[in-house]
Copies of this chain bind each other. A is one copy, B any other.
Amino acid sequence: MRIIVDAFGGDNAPREILLGCAQAVEALGVDITLAGDEKKLAACAKELDVENSFSKMEVLDCQDVLSMEDEPSSILKERSGCSMAVGMKALAEGRGDAFASAGNSGALTVGATMLVKRMKGVKRVAFAPVLPTAKTPFMVCDGGANVACRADMLMQFGLMGSVYMEKVMKVKSPRVGLVNVGTEAHKGDELRQEAYGLLKNCPGLNFIGNIEPRDIPYGACDVAVADGFTGNTVLKLYEGTALAMMGMVKDIFQKNMKNKLAAAMIYGDLQGLKKTMDYNSYGGAPILGASKPVFKMHGNAKARAVLSALGLVRDCTQSGYVEAITQALGK
């Protein structure tokens, strides 16, 4: 399997991306193609002392880089020669099996839609991160690719998310819930009411109805279906609140010697909690609905996170989730 990686996407590119890829090429049994400035990458590989691993990778040489400030649609125009665009075009041409980038999410969505192209019948691609809870992880779909949605898009988000959770996360008959202001069928705005009906009547979907956001942290569903605005709110508030709470607990433990001693006594368990709630643990998130595997890595990913993300990309791609979604949509 060959993974094409945007070597110049993200806060720590190209250094940490290259380092992560160097580890992946040795440890994961995958081939890597880097999209980016070959000269700079070679110099960086020398500096990082990973020239041997670098020599095993292919490079799609290109000088331009799309920044976080660039308009998403610029990937089709002014920035059509950037590392992200070049990598995605190579994926579309079959020069690799999957694509991953830690760069501009909006541009990645546009590229997945217009360069890699959507699967037949898919109305919109969705950003679909999987987040941890104390019990079972859950996927937010859409986590922010589409700020405005129609009901039929929400139904597809539920279907695509369900297939992914089953194929990749090995969840049997994933519980699909619609994020809403109440559990009763008539709750919410027109969008929610219409989506409820479509999800309920969607064959092969284990739709458990509306879910209230307060139940999500307790593992109330496997797939939380939402428009991109709501999904992004869920994603970011969940991460922020969990982090803030961890910070408050940490502050207590560092308050004085007595508290530090107490912290030492339960150090292992606290680390376990931290690990459980580490929203980076799944490394990356798929752009569902693209006709080939496209993944978003965290913007601030360091080598370790890149390695972990590429492991996920490999496993996901091997799972055949793209084909499974295509099949499910065709029904």
Residues of A bordering B, CB below 8 Å: 133-134, 144, 147-148, 179, 181, 188-190, 192, 212-218, 228-230, 232-234, 236-249, 251-253, 255, 258-259, 261-263, 265-266, 269-270, 272-273, 276-277
- 11 intermolecular pairs with C-beta atoms under 8 Å apart: A133-B244, A181-B229, A181-B233, A214-B237, A216-B237, A216-B240, A217-B241, A234-B237, A258-B265, A261-B265, A262-B263
Contacting residues, chain B, for A230 (C-beta < 8 A) = 229-230, 233
Contacting residues, chain B, for A148 (C-beta < 8 A) = 189-190
Q: List 12 additional contacts besides A188-B229, A216-B240; criterion CB under 8 Å.
A: A181-B233, A217-B243, A217-B245, A229-B230, A237-B241, A238-B241, A241-B245, A242-B245, A255-B269, A259-B266, A259-B269, A261-B265
- B237 in contact with A253 (CB, 8 Å): no
- A213 in contact with B189 (CB, 8 Å): no
- B266 in contact with A240 (CB, 8 Å): no
Contacting residues, chain B, for A212 (C-beta < 8 A) = 236, 240
Copies in the complex: 2
A133–B243 alpha-carbon span in the complex (Å): 12
State how many angstroms separate the Cβ of A151 from the closest Cβ of chain B: 14
Taking CB as reference atom, which chain B residue is nearest A273?
B248
Given A189-B229, A230-B233, A237-B238: A249 and B247 within 8 A (CB)? Answer: no
- A214 in contact with B188 (CB, 8 Å): no
- B218 in contact with A244 (CB, 8 Å): yes
Indicate which residue in B134, B215, B233 contacts A234 across the interface (CB closer than 8 Å). Answer: B233
State how many angstroms separate the Cβ of A213 from the closest Cβ of chain B: 4
Contacting residues, chain B, for A258 (C-beta < 8 A) = 265-266
State how many angstroms separate the Cβ of A260 from the closest Cβ of chain B: 10
Contacting residues, chain B, for A249 (C-beta < 8 A) = 249, 273
A232–B230 alpha-carbon span in the complex (Å): 10
Indicate which residue in B233, B242, B255, B265 contacts A233 across the interface (CB closer than 8 Å). Answer: B233
Given A229-B189, A233-B233, A262-B262: A242 and B240 within 8 A (CB)? Answer: no
A213–B273 alpha-carbon span in the complex (Å): 23
